[in-house]
Amino acid sequence: MDTYTTVKNRLLKLLDEKNMSIHKLAIESAVAPSTIKNILYGKSQNPGIVTIKMLCDGFGISIVEFFNTEAFLNLEQEIK
């Protein structure tokens, strides 16, 4: 799985786990709903680390918790 898909899947999982809508996450994280939708629907395939950190803040988790998953630990090298 590539990094973009892993980030997108993690966001979707956290939205489900925290029972949050995109709108609620946007309010909690101060990230525009359009930015979140662009990440989730593939228009933005390279979200910046600051954006990811802000989303983590909105979820109430640390950036370490965001990336500390089996999926991220097993990512293949992007450049081959």
CATH at residue 36: 1.10.260.40
Answer yes or no: is 24 within a domain: yes
Answer yes or no: is 80 within a domain: no
- Give the per-residue pLDDT at 57: 98
Answer yes or no: is 48 within a domain: yes
Q: Is the pLDDT of residue 64 over 90?
A: yes
Q: Where are the alpha helices (DSSP H) in the chain?
A: 3-17, 22-29, 33-40, 49-59, 63-67, 70-73
Answer yes or no: is 65 within a domain: yes
Domain containing residue 16 = 3-71
pLDDT tens for 12-40 read: 999 999 999 999 999 999 999 999 999 99
As for how many domains the chain has, the answer is 1
- Give the sign of the dihedral formed by CA 56, CA 57, CA 58, CA 60: positive
Using alpha carbons only, what angle is made at residue 2 by residues 32 and 54, rounded to the nearest 5 degrees?
25
Answer yes or no: is 76 within a domain: no
